[in-house]
């Protein structure tokens, strides 16, 4: 997790630094509906490479937005889940959803 | 401008496709306070290369978010300004600002 002193002074820039990438935003969108396995994320995020997906998840875990859960089921597997801090981002996704809809209505 | 049929079905993905990059988001943040010259944008967006700035502005013009204005002043120069569609993105920047503030308060 980045220390407070290392964050940009501007709050918008802070958000951009944390999630200002196509894949991170789409990962959050995917995790809104519940925890997901890597394979599920890869299927939903058409075009993402394994490397970028892994790096994005890893940096989101570091930043406290995503939890990595090891499930002791048969077969054991890993799922990713939004933390409470990650869930607090949902209003941003919601305004993005509204704006995307508005934009398309203007075409 | 992308045709409606070429837009992702998901409204969040539409927004991500249009402005889901660090620099585009920061360019919008900069243009909220009024039109800017390329040199002003470059100063405010620490670390952006000329190439990426030009490409980002050009794609935002194509997408109807930014206007390129040729000013016949002395010396003549070019400024970039949000269109009405670009300005309609401000609520998203505002929720990003609030979330960035909240995130920092949690560190």
Residue B2, pLDDT score? 67
- The length of chain B in residues reads 107
Q: Do A96 and B7 touch (CB under 8 A)?
A: no
| Residue range(s) defining the domain that contains residue B41 | 4-105
DSSP state, residue A69: E
- Report the alpha-carbon distance of residue A44 to residue A10 in Å, rounded: 32
Residue B4, pLDDT score? 72
CATH of the domain at B84: 1.10.10.10
Average pLDDT on B81-101 reads 96
The contacts of residue B37 (CB under 8 Å, 6+ apart) are B77, B78, B79, B80
- Report the alpha-carbon distance of residue B94 to residue B85 in Å, rounded: 16
Q: Do A15 and B97 touch (CB under 8 A)?
A: yes
Q: B87 pLDDT exceeds 90?
A: yes
Mean pLDDT, all residues of chain B = 92
Q: B79 vs A60, B40, B59, B71, B83, CA distance in Å?
A: 36, 9, 15, 7, 12
The minimum CA-CA distance between B14 and chain A, rounded to whole Å, is: 5
Q: B74 pLDDT exceeds 90?
A: no
Residue B107, pLDDT score? 85
Higher pLDDT, B91 or A6: B91
Average pLDDT on A36-53 reads 93
Determine contact: B85 vs chain A, CB below 8 A.
yes
| pLDDT tens digits along A52-106 | 999 999 999 999 999 999 998 888 899 999 999 999 999 999 999 999 999 999 9
Average pLDDT on A36-62 reads 94
> What is the complex's ipTM, to 2 decimals?
0.91
Residue A2, pLDDT score? 67
Chain B contact set for A2 (CB, 8 A): 107
The minimum CA-CA distance between B54 and chain A, rounded to whole Å, is: 19
Determine contact: B13 vs chain A, CB below 8 A.
yes
How many A-B residue pairs are in contact by the CB < 8 A criterion?
124
Label residue B9 exposed, middle or buried (CB < 10 Å: 0-12, 13-18, 19+): exposed
Helix axes B22-31, B11-19, angle to 10 degrees: 80
A75, A107, A98: which is closest to B63 by C-alpha? A107
Residue B46, pLDDT score? 86
Average pLDDT on A1-11 reads 79
Residue B100, pLDDT score? 96
- How many domains is chain B partitioned into structurally? 1
Report the percentage of chain B scoring pLDDT > 70.
98
Q: A4 pLDDT exceeds 80?
A: no
Which of A 53-82 lie inside 8 A of B, CB atoms?
64
Chain A contact set for B99 (CB, 8 A): 11, 15, 88-89, 91-92
| pLDDT tens digits along B6-51 | 788 899 999 999 998 999 999 999 999 999 999 999 999 989 999 9
């Amino acid at each position: 997790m980045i220390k407070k002193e290392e964050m940009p002074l501007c709050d918008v820039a802070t958000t951009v630094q944390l999630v200002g990438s196509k894949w991170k935003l789409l990962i959050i969108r995917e995790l809104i509906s519940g925890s997901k396995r890597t394979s599920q994320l890869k299927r939903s995020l058409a075009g993402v490479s394994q490397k970028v997906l892994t790096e994005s998840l890893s940096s989101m875990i570091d930043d406290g937005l995503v939890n990595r859960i090891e499930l002791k089921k048969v077969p054991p597997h890993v799922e990713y889940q939004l933390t409470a801090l990650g869930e607090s981002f949902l209003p941003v996704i919601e305004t993005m959803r509204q704006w995307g809809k508005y934009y398309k209505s203007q075409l």
